[in-house]
């Protein structure tokens, strides 16, 4: 199962990717997300850790400055994202240049396996809200 959300951001791809690529800084979605870095790794170091809104423990598993892709894993979540409901959660954020007007498509995909409990559905609305905030931050 998974989500697929995407928005056009009105800024060149290098500026947008520059904001997205730091795993420890989600200030581009500050209205939706409190991002607390944890551990010794920097935000561009594979294995870096953060806690989102006090409940989701996430690890950076992939970062590619050439393809402009970030991949992360939720290790522990609560409520709808708890291990009873969701497993092997992986998220991916990707930035694609739009050459016609030098803007950027940002694509956020997530996938997970439902567990034996009731199936939780981290909804598109959550990702769309964060992407909309990213969009506004470049207006």
Residue with smaller CB distance to its own copies, 6 or 137: 6
Residues 80-119 that bind its own copies (CB under 8 A): 90, 96-100, 105, 107, 113-114
The residue within the footprint of its own copies, chosen from 65, 78, 117, 136 (CB under 8 A), is 65
Shortest distance (Å) from residue 20 CB to its own copies: 13
Give residues 16-45 in contact with its own copies (rule: CB under 8 A). Answer: 21, 41-42, 44-45
Residue closest to 72 by CA, chosen among 39, 46, 34, 53: 46
Residue 42 vs 78, nearer CB to its own copies? 42
Look at residues 112, 95, 113, 93 and name the one whose alpha carbon lies nearest to residue 104.
Answer: 95
> How far is Cα of residue 120 from the mean position of the Cα atoms in its chain?
18
Give the residue among 100, 71, 76 at the shortest CA–CA distance from 87: 76
């Amino acid at each position: 199962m998974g989500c697929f959300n995407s928005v056009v951001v009105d800024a060149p791809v290098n500026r947008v990717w520059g904001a997205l690529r730091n795993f420890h800084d989600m200030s581009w979605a500050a209205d939706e997300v409190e991002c607390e870095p944890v551990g010794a790794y920097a935000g561009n170091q594979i294995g870096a850790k953060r806690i989102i809104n006090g409940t989701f423990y996430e690890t950076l598993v992939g970062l590619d400055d050439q393809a402009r892709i970030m991949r992360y894993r939720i290790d522990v979540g609560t409520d709808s994202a708890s291990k009873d409901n969701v497993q092997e959660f992986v998220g991916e954020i990707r930035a694609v240049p739009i050459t016609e007007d030098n803007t950027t498509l940002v694509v956020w995909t997530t996938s997970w396996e439902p567990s034996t409990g009731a199936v939780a559905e981290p909804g598109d609305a959550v990702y769309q809200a964060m992407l909309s905030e990213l969009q506004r931050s470049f207006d």
